C-alpha cells in the first residue's frame, strides 16, 4: 500500500505543477496563429484587388467613352466629306452646263 500512496502523491504533485507544452500542442497553437495572420492578409489583399479592379474599370470606361466620341467625330467628318464631294460635283456639273459651248 505504501507504493500506491507514493504513486498517488507523485501523480498529484505532477498535476499541480505546470505541465510543459506538448510538441503537437505547440505546433497547432503556432499553426492557428499563422492561419489567423494569413486570413487577415488575405482579406487585405482582396480589398486591394477590389480597389485596383474598380480603378481599372473606371479607366476602361473613360477610354471607351473617348473612343466612342472619336468614332462619332470620324463619322461626322465622313458625312461632311461626302457632302462636300457631292456639292463639288454639283458645282462642276453646273459650271459645265453654264459654259458649255453650244454647237
- pLDDT tens digit sequence for 45-62: 999 999 999 999 999 999
CA–CA distance, 32 with 43 (Å, rounded to integer): 17
**What domain range is 63 assigned to?**
47-98
Cβ contacts of 29 within 8 Å, gap of 6 or more: 21
Q: Is the pTM of this model over 0.85?
A: no
Q: Is residue 14 part of a domain?
A: no
Query: Percent of the chain, pLDDT > 70?
Result: 77
Judged by average pLDDT, the poorest of 4-8, 16-20, 70-74 is 4-8
Q: Is residue 2 part of a domain?
A: no
Q: Is residue 40 part of a domain?
A: no
Distances (CA, A) of 23 to 29, 30, 35, 51, 98: 10, 11, 18, 42, 110
Amino acid at each position: 500500500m505504501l507504493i500506491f500512496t507514493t504513486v498517488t502523491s507523485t501523480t498529484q504533485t505532477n498535476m499541480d505543477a505546470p505541465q510543459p507544452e506538448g510538441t503537437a500542442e505547440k505546433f497547432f497553437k503556432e499553426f492557428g496563429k499563422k492561419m489567423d495572420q494569413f486570413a487577415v492578409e488575405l482579406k487585405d489583399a482582396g480589398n486591394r484587388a477590389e480597389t485596383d479592379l474598380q480603378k481599372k474599370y473606371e479607366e476602361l470606361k473613360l477610354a471607351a467613352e473617348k473612343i466612342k466620341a472619336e468614332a462619332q467625330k470620324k463619322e461626322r467628318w465622313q458625312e461632311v466629306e461626302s457632302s462636300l464631294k457631292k456639292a463639288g460635283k454639283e458645282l462642276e456639273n453646273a459650271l459645265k452646263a453654264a459654259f458649255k459651248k453650244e454647237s
